[in-house]
Structure 1
Amino acid sequence: MEWMKKVKMAADRAREEVRDIVAEPKKQLKRITDDVRPRMAEEDFVEYDLNRWMDEIKQLTVDIKAMSSTLVIEGGDECEWKRLLKVRKMEHQSLVSKSPQRSEKGANEEKQLDFNKLKDRSQRQIKVYRSDYAIGASNTNLLCRGDRDTLCLTDRTGHKTNTLWWNGGNIWDICWSSFLDRFLILTKRTLHSLNVQTSEVTQIKQVSDKNRADFYRCTCSNQTTLVCFNKKGSVVEEWDMSGEWKMMRRWQPPVSCQQNEWIGDIRFSIDGSQLGVTVWVDGRYNQFHVRDRSMNILNNITFPSSKSGYRLICLPNGQWLTHEHENKELHIIGRDGKLEQTLTYNTCVWRAALLRRCLVIRTDDNELCFQDL
């Protein structure tokens, strides 16, 4: 009778694995639907979006049709009851990637942002909490502090879509993870995730060693998160988000930065192939670096000295936007790390985030300004 129980347990486990695999296309369809509906309602899409949605639907159709051939039940020769029945999903060739020219063309069309529109007064402004300056954006939401005890989600029109309770203290950085479908929220000693759909905030990491430097900045691409620490000779750690947030690599001076330098900001490029990093030495210089994934510097630009370093966001076509909060200048930098354009905004810029084609600017007078580009 004991062997029958073990067979049943193995069968139940296999059944659950099959259910997980079969449910995956449903999750993908919901993700596509959640992306399409609000943008269709606002008529906020271009040809590239239509092409991308069609490609995703085609790929989903292929996945569903291939489902019957992707489930394989394996039996072992040895009687290892936990592996008596093993379900695995076989890979099948994607049929969507056969039209790269159309996708490339559409991507280029989407990437044209008109930064000269920053000379115009912002179409919308909202007041925000005065003590926290961090903001972060997904394709549909902007996240910032609402007041002392709340987080605020807004859409690109500046309309508040949700207000969430927050008691985690001051926020140093916010970034969006498409891999997790969540915001990552970084404080001095903790890293949290925010599920926008359920409003659930979960603590992921905590600095437990009181002698260790505080968290400072974070950025993510696919399953990778980078976190840098607030100290001279800043250290950068790479964490894998796919499992238990295992640290994969750790860069220290002189690779992360020079021993006398601070990292002011760090961001993955839009495709995750490069890194933008700003460093500074107080009273001497500020620099922007384009780096590869191993932290090797590919190119750099030197800016005038600033007390707290330059802030940084990535732009859709491999460009970067950098600024520092003591003046009104915004610098547009190309993928090759060369300065392309410098603009003067109408007030000092403390933080910036790109919400699709809308640049949201956090000013020094406690406002979020929404600038359509």
Structure 2
Amino acid sequence: MKVNFDLIKTREPQIVFDVPIDEDDIRMGASDKSFLFYGNDSKKLDLYDQTGLKHTEKLTITSKIWEIVWSSHFDRYLLQADTSFYTYDEQNHQFQLLKQIKPVEPIIMFCGCTCFEEILFIYYEGWGCRIEEWNMTDFSIRKYWKNETERRIIQMLFSIKNPNHIGVTVSDQKDIRRFELRDRDMKILKVVNIDRCSCPIPIPTTGDWLISHRDSKVFSLVKDDCTSETIIEYNENVEKAVFLADYNCLAIATQNNQLRFYYVL
């Protein structure tokens, strides 16, 4: 089913919530049916579905949460902190530490992660960072790589339609950013130069990538094979966004402290 993201330019959002948006300090991650919104200042984890807020949980951990992804292997959310991983069950709201996943060196911090079925990719902070492929059936590291020394990874997500592809946003030391399409051996297949790109959102139905721009009122819609890019204008600066595939619902957190829901059919 084709998704029409141009509707965010012509339609008012179906649902709007006022939420505190602290720049670079909120995290969002989605399953097909729901998403989590987390504020590192408040330590408050909010669970939403397509109709709105469903549950709020206050977390007691001291470290920041850097990434939230859905794990089909655990049928739970994965929350990645500085040096640890947690699972969150959206049904019974249980929050659990995964003691088996630790950094290779205690002084190095995790930066982000992505997963598909039993495979988990973890990348570390810094230039030329280490990237690891974990198998979550036995919590073993199967492979690892070093990223390019002149670039750092901002975010990395599996394509949902083609799990052999991974979308990666990176920046250089002048903070010039771009989107890379990689395979599962971290080989760069295609590059799209988008100076202010930040967070890629994989679209399951088409395989395309919806990319938000840092401190900007535009999204980029990049074709699945990176052969074309379409600019979608918006009326507010975007902080984060997620897509709920079962409902074709795009949830946008704007820098004017709002959470906006659009049904983009």
The normalised TM-score by structure 2 is 0.89
Counting aligned pairs with the same residue, the percent is: 28
- Structure 1 residue 285: Cα displacement: 2.5
* Equivalent of 2:198 in 310, 321, 346: 310
Structure (1 or 2) with the larger CA radius of gyration: 1
Is the 8 Å Cα contact of residues 313 and 353 (structure 1) preserved in structure 2? yes
Question: Which protein has greater RCO, CA pairs closer than 8 Å, 6+ apart?
Answer: 2
Q: Secondary structure at the match of 1:298?
A: strand
CA deviation vs aligned residue, 1:131-168 (integer Å, no higher than 9, x gap): 4321111122111126714311111122x211223122
Task: Determine helix, strand or coil for the equivalent of 2:73.
Answer: coil
Q: Which amino acid aligns with 2:224?
A: R
Query: 1:316-364 CA distances to partner (integer Å, 9 max, x unpaired)?
Result: 1111111222211100111111233111111111111101201111111
Q: Secondary structure at the match of 1:115?
A: coil
The answer as to whether partners of 2:150 and 2:173 remain within 8 angstroms in 1 is no
The RMSD of aligned alpha carbons is: 1.8
Partner of 1:191: 85
Work out the CA distance in 1 between the residues paired with 2:106 and 2:117. 31
Deviation at 1:284, TM superposition (A): 5.7
Deviation of residue 208 (structure 1)? Answer: 7.7
| Alignment match of 1:266 (pick from 137, 156, 161) | 156
1:210 to partner: Cα distance: 4.1
Q: Distance in 2 between matches of 1:365 and 1:247?
A: 41
Q: Corresponding residue for 1:115?
A: 5
Name the CA distance, whole Å, in 2 between partners of 1:324 and 1:234: 23
Matches within 5 A, 1:37-186: 110=1, 112-119=2-9, 120-131=11-22, 132-145=25-38, 148-158=42-52, 160-168=53-61, 169-186=63-80
- Post-superposition Cα deviations, 1:224-263, rounded to whole Å, max 9, x if no partner, equal 11111121112211111122x21111111xxx3x201111
**Higher percent of residues as helix:** 1
In the aligned structure 2, how far is the partner of 1:194 from the partner of 1:298?
Answer: 34
1:129–1:145 Cα contact (<8 Å) kept: no
Please identify, of 225-234 and 202-211, the stretch whose mean Cα deviation from structure 2 is larger. 202-211
Cα distance, 1:207 vs structure 2: 3.8
Q: Which runs of 4+ in 1 moved over 4 A?
A: none
Corresponding residue number in structure 1 for 2:107? 211
Counting only pairs closer than 5 Å after superposition, residues 240-319 of structure 1 correspond to structure 2 as 240-243=135-138, 245-252=139-146, 256=147, 258-271=148-161, 272-283=163-174, 285-304=176-195, 306=196, 310-316=198-204, 317-319=206-208
CA distance in 2, matches of 1:284, 1:183: 30
2:59 maps to a residue whose letter is W
The structure where strand makes up a greater share of residues is 2
Q: Over residues 88-143 of structure 1, what are the superposed CA-to-partner deviations in whole Å (9 max), with x where a residue is unaligned? A: xxxxxxxxxxxxxxxxxxxxxx3x10111010222211133434321111122111
Unmatched segments (≥5 aa) in structure 1: 1-109
Query: How far did 1:365 drift?
Result: 2.2
Structure 2 unaligned regions, length at least 5: none
Q: What residue identity is the alignment partner of 1:299? A: K
Partner of 2:125: 230
Q: Distance in 2 between matches of 1:217 and 1:359?
A: 22
Q: Is 1:337 the equivalent of 2:233?
A: no
- 2:21 and 2:253 in contact (8 A); partners too: no
**What is the distance in 1 between the residues matched to 2:45 and 2:70?**
15
Contact 1:150 1:167 in 2 (8 A): no
Aligned pair in 2 of structure 1 residues 210, 273: CA closer, same or farther (>3 Å)?
closer
